[in-house]
Structure 1
Amino acid sequence: MSQVVIIGAGPTGLTLAMLLAQRGIDVKLIEASRNFRRTFRGEALMPSGLEAIEFMGLTDLVARIPHRPLDAWEFVIENRSIFRVDEPMEPGGKPCTLISQPAFLEGVMAEARQYPNFEFIAGTAVRDFMWENDRAVGVILGDDRQIDAELIVGADGRSSIVRQKAKLPLDRQSQNFDILWFKLASSPEFEAENIFYSIISGHDGFGLFLGCEGLLQIGWSLHRQVGDDANAWQRINWQAKLVAAAPDWLVPILQQQKIDRPVLLSVTVGLCPQWHAPGVLLLGDAAHPMSPVRAQGINMGLRDAIVTVNHLVPLFQRHAQLTEIDAVLPQIQAEREPEIIQIQKLQHAEINQGELLRNYAPLRYGVSWLAPHLSLIRNRLRQSWVDRQLLLRQGVTSVSLKV
């Protein structure tokens, strides 16, 4: 029998598999895709994620793969720069760093494959669970293979099959926006400094930065209203739309681009009241899909993996009973859930700030006219934003690898 079967080879599942295999635990990692080159993968490691990477011994890997630290954050409202914050924000701290997630996953996979107790099964989805006395004891794959397991870990994202098969409900938070993601050719203006621009113009808003693999990336907030045509965005001339919302300095750059139809990223945010069932544990976005604000999904998932290893390794190394394994699963949730709840609240507060500017024109125009000219207002806005970022960057609780 396999000790642990992990479903989903994203950052959470793959790093968990590597850490368990390093410590002598038999692991099978199952991934429905055949490779890591998906259309969209989060790139940003906050200091909390970089700390997790360091605990995992993967700092050298990040240095070898395409990566790009952010130099600053800048906010532009109605064509005026409001304030800028340089990275790192904390004295002696680490800057938010963009990484190539496919390259990172390939590197972690190479590390995991060194261990004979690790097996990777790609290109086959999980179809169902095997049950014994109301406990999940294995998985049935799409090709009818059956794999026994002492524990099934669902790290298969916000649309988790594991969550569905284990009948673990997800409490969804109300969201009124999705993200349209554009990848464009780079421009010399972005090479000297990599600045993450947050741009608001009228009711429109988007983020802009240079990705670690040399492409300009734009995330456009697509707001939804009851009764809206869900496919209307596909008929928009996006080059004209972006140009109309862009500050003056960005307009000629966008006019020179070939802008194809963007990728729609549906925003799902929520929290499972219970992350576990007998024989099953949910982690990462499977247990708590995060808002895209400040790229918390990958950072929280890496921290989930570390806490899970701390709890599971001693049990599996001494060949604990299945009842003992099930008994520790609520402890993993209890350790991780407070941080997730607080981070989701902080993300929601950031969204509310943006919504206030988007929906209340007098405030938006007042900020855009006064902040560039009055240092007192500019500095207060800047400090207020920095204060709100610290926990989103550093994490809420202390997490370290103990085994």
Structure 2
Amino acid sequence: MLSNERTTCLVVGGGPAGLILGLLMARAGVEVTVLEKHGDFLRDFRGDTVHASTLTLLDELGLGERFAALPQRRIERAQVQFDAGVAQIADLSRLPGAHQHIAMVPQWDFLDLVADAAEEEPTFTLRRNAEAIGLLHEGRRVAGVRYRDRTDGSEHELRASLTVACDGRGSVVRAAAGLVPRSFGVPIDVWWFRLPRRETDPAGGVGRISAGQFAVMIDRGDYWQCAFLISKGSDAAMRAAGLERFRERIAGLLPWMADRLDALTSLHDVKLLDVKLERLRTWHREGLLLIGDAAHAMSPVGGVGINLAVADAVATARLLAPALRSGGIVPRSLLRKVQRRRWWPAALIQGGQRIAHRAVFRGRGATAGTPVANTDPVGLADGVPLAPAEALPPPLRLLRQFPVLQGVPARLIAIGPLPEHAPDWARRTTEPADR
């Protein structure tokens, strides 16, 4: 049975973009409802990087001290291990501002923090177990959504002056609106899995490149969240090669992990991320706006997707909240203004990711037939020597010769091309978390 309800701003998706947008709209005095299809935020294999631009935003929102209290690891430099040794590619100590690092925080803790702050605002509502299943229309205008309560299967209608889709790269709202993103070719997929972490292991993040193989390990305290790149579409063949073949491959690429690979008891422990790089040509319809991955799905390269989505949310709130607060319909000209502001940062970053796919990975990821690395590299736990300059690609040689240039990739990754700041009406005064 359908029930009819109404809100001013309806946000579909309780991820980083959706909850930040909900918080900002509520602080503007706008009645806002966020629909989240899950009952909680405890879902694995999600991005955990909170970059300096987002840390600055949290300070501006008065949430810096709360965030600093969360369990976290900090990355202050980015290094990649080649067969010949280690090369540093970014030095975050060269960043401006109070946050000269990237924080590695379980995303569920970050989302709980933002949701708790939003629920302190009287005009904010978070509905969990609420799965959007279709759009409502008034003539040509999107007027809200139909959603299913996943606890009892009942269906409901929720009407709104503005609907904002923050429901990710598989956006149900986008499909219901008939919007089809432009897809860019991606040569890789990613296998995600966990391995135990020990106190003698390196902290933060570790990258490893060898013979067309690439892996990244994200420090989550007592375990590593590991990403292993495979060639696009090779998942079935890789699985057919079996668990032992995969263990051998990881042991060859990461010898310091060899003594804990029995933690992988089955390839069911290995999850596939189907990597997509997509962008909508038009992010809006009458009464509807799409932001974050719903508008521009990012590659995992650089781990910038969350922070780009958060920046989208901040710009959306700053540009649209005044019109919503007045109670009127948001004109499509304002929705176009959001897209004009946020399109070029998304396009620029995606362009860089496409270059990385070609240059760093040379269009290759591991396949079932890729030879296991047999270069006997020094284990990271024992200390890895610097790679000789002649063994490095020219851009990395330049970064080695002129360390000040390491601030450039640090800024591109940790701050981005167009960081967004909280509007005055959303700010709360606290000291930055690092001070």
TM-score by length of structure 1 reads 0.88
CA distance in 1, matches of 2:87, 2:322: 52
Using a 3 Å threshold, how does the CA distance of structure 1 residues 259 and 379 change in structure 2: closer, same or farther?
A: farther
Structure 1: gaps of 5 or more residues: none
Match of 1:16 among 21, 24, 33: 21
Give 1:252 deviation, angstroms: 4.2
Partner of 1:267: 275
Give 1:269 deviation, angstroms: 1.1
Match of 1:199 among 191, 208, 211: 208
Partner of 2:398: 380
Give 1:162 deviation, angstroms: 0.8
CA distance in 1, matches of 2:397, 2:223: 32
Residue type of the alignment partner of 2:66? L
Partner of 1:73: 78
Partner of 1:29: 34
Using a 3 Å threshold, how does the CA distance of structure 1 residues 231 and 114 change in structure 2: closer, same or farther?
A: farther
Q: CA RMSD in A?
A: 2.8
Give 1:251 deviation, angstroms: 4.4
SS at match of 2:341: helix
| 1:49 and 2:65 correspond | no
Matches for 1:363-378 after TM superposition, within 5 Å: 372-374=387-389
Is the 8 Å Cα contact of residues 177 and 221 (structure 1) preserved in structure 2?
A: yes
Partner of 2:170: 159
Q: Deviations over 1:180-231 (max 9, x none)?
A: 11112111222xx5242221222211112312x4321211001136xx5635
Partner of 2:342: 336
Matches for 1:2-401 after TM superposition, within 5 Å: 2-78=7-83, 80-83=85-88, 85-90=90-95, 94-142=100-148, 143-190=154-201, 193-211=202-220, 213-224=221-232, 228=234, 230=236, 232-233=238-239, 235-237=242-244, 238-246=246-254, 248=255, 250-255=256-261, 257-258=263-264, 260=266, 261-320=269-328, 322=329, 324-356=330-362, 372-374=387-389, 379-382=397-400, 387-401=408-422
TM-score by length of structure 2 reads 0.81
Give 1:278 deviation, angstroms: 0.7
Higher relative contact order (CA 8 A, sep 6+): 2
SS at match of 1:372: coil
CA distance in 2, matches of 1:400, 1:152: 23
Residue type of the alignment partner of 1:52? L
Is the 8 Å Cα contact of residues 184 and 259 (structure 1) preserved in structure 2?
A: no
Give 1:104 deviation, angstroms: 1.3
Using a 3 Å threshold, how does the CA distance of structure 1 residues 398 and 385 change in structure 2: closer, same or farther?
A: closer
Structure 2: gaps of 5 or more residues: 1-5, 149-153, 366-372, 378-384, 426-435
Using a 3 Å threshold, how does the CA distance of structure 1 residues 316 and 282 change in structure 2: closer, same or farther?
A: same
Give 1:294 deviation, angstroms: 1.2
Instruction: Give identity over the alignment, percent.
Output: 24
Is the 8 Å Cα contact of residues 198 and 207 (structure 1) preserved in structure 2?
A: yes
Give 1:28 deviation, angstroms: 1.1
SS at match of 1:205: strand
CA distance in 1, matches of 2:363, 2:8: 51
Is the 8 Å Cα contact of residues 185 and 215 (structure 1) preserved in structure 2?
A: yes
Q: Deviations over 1:229-252 (max 9, x none)?
A: 635336343322200222x4x144
**How many pairs are equivalent?**
388
